[in-house]
Amino acid sequence: MKIGFIGVGSMAQAIIQGLLKAKLVPAENILIHSAHQAHYENYADKFGLTPQATNLDVAKNSDFVVLAVVPAIAKAVLAEIRSALTKDKVLVSIVSGVSLERLAELTNYDLPILRTLPNINSEFGQGMTAVAVNENLAGDQKDQALSIFKATGEISELPETLFPVFSAISGSTVAYIDFFIDALSRAGVKYGLSKEAATKIAAQTTFGSADALMQSGKTPAEMIDKVCSPGGDTIAGVLAMEEAGFLSSVVKGIDATIDKSTGKTK
């Protein structure tokens, strides 16, 4: 099983590192090409991957061709590799906002296609990836395609209509959680902690809270209630955060993310 990456930016590197840690395939079975020769050749050299001179070579020599470029150039790159995309290969897209129908239109209608929306936590095996397949992808070929993302975390098969909201509360939310951790850490610095100590405390607390929530099977509201002692400190903090607009600020951020990914805003 050879997995080729077209584009070796932040997201492709996270998936590649996750695959290497999971040992899904030998490193040399990962083929890469991107816009910057010095970068992709050094990266391939460092991790034992196989560099390819062109996007077309990646497509010709891989069983799974992962399109990992920004949405604006997806069309041009697909035109470049279209002739090599035969139906014994699977096109795997991680590109935000490009539908299965559009991917088929830009390639060949008999091509097996997996559309995904991963997140950057794939690097450490803690990814969360939405997946949707077209009618040409089934059986072993589908299982193998999904195994790429199962190796780097959890997957969720979703209708494409829900991809924008998934992308907002997962792909983009990695940044929003870090934004929250940074805000907590700055509050810690305000009261005398070093930035390093405050960040570690805030990050471990975020990690532990997510883990406890999932292990307990309780709702977030139930977990909040367990921490809010009657007449205590936490309820005072929750009310002050809400007075400052915590909930509506988060939802407005998600609204803006969805509007951007669906082309409602520039």
Ligand X SMILES: NC(=O)C1=CN([C@@H]2O[C@H](COP(=O)(O)OP(=O)(O)OC[C@H]3O[C@@H](n4cnc5c(N)ncnc54)[C@H](O)[C@@H]3O)[C@@H](O)[C@H]2O)C=CC1
List contacts with ligand A1CAB (CB under 6 A): 96, 167, 171-172
- CA dist., res. 171 & res. 158, Å (int): 14
The closest residue (CB) to ligand A1CAB is 171
Task: Assess 73 for contact with ligand X (CB under 6 A).
Answer: yes
CB closer to ligand X out of 95 and 111: 95
For ligand A1CAB, the closer of residues 35 and 223 by Cβ is 35
Minimum distance of ligand A1CAB from residue 241's CB (angstroms): 26
Shorter beta-carbon distance to ligand X: residue 54 or 205? 54
Q: Is 71 in the site for ligand X (CB under 6 A)?
A: yes
Smallest separation, CB 164 to ligand A1CAB (Å): 10
Tell which one of 3, 6, 20, 130 touches ligand X (CB under 6 A).
6
112-117 CB contacts, 8 Å cutoff, 24+ apart: 112/87, 112/136, 112/137, 112/138, 112/141, 112/142, 112/145, 113/137, 114/90, 114/142, 114/145, 114/146, 115/160, 115/163, 116/92, 116/149, 117/163, 117/166, 117/167, 117/170, 117/171
Backbone phi and psi for residue 40, each to the nearest 5 degrees, phi listed first: -70, -30
Residue whose CB is less far from ligand X, 24 or 66: 66
* CA–centroid distance for 186 within its chain: 27
Q: Give the CA dihedral 97, 99, 103, 104, nearest 10 degrees.
A: -170
* Binding positions for ligand X, 82-141, rule CB under 6 A: 94-96, 117-120
Helix (H, G, I), strand (E, B) or coil at 199: helix
Minimum distance between the CB of residue 135 and ligand X, rounded to whole angstroms?
24
User: Could you tell me the smallest distance in angstroms from the CB atom of residue 117 to ligand A1CAB?
Assistant: 7
Q: State the greatest distance between any 2 C-alpha atoms of the chain, in Å, as a whole number.
A: 68
**End-to-end alpha-carbon separation of the chain, Å?**
39
Q: Which of 249, 9, 24, 244 is nearest to 150 (CA)?
A: 24
3-state secondary structure of 156: strand
Report the alpha-carbon distance of residue 158 to residue 165 in Å, rounded.
Answer: 11
Give, as ranges, the residues between 15 and 44 that touch ligand X (CB under 6 A): 33-36
Picked from ligand A1CAB, ligand X, none, the partner binding residue 145 (CB below 5 to 8 A depending on kind) is: none
Q: Among residue numbers 159 through 178, which ones bind ligand X (CB under 6 A)?
A: 171
Contact by Cβ (8 Å): 99, 114: no
- Check binding of 153 to ligand X (CB under 6 A): no
Structure tokens at 5: 């990456």
49: contact with ligand X by CB under 6 A? no
Nearer to ligand A1CAB, 119 or 199 (CB): 119
Number of residues that bind ligand X (CB under 6 A): 26
Residues that bind ligand X (CB under 6 A): 6-12, 33-36, 55, 68-71, 73, 77, 94-96, 117-120, 171
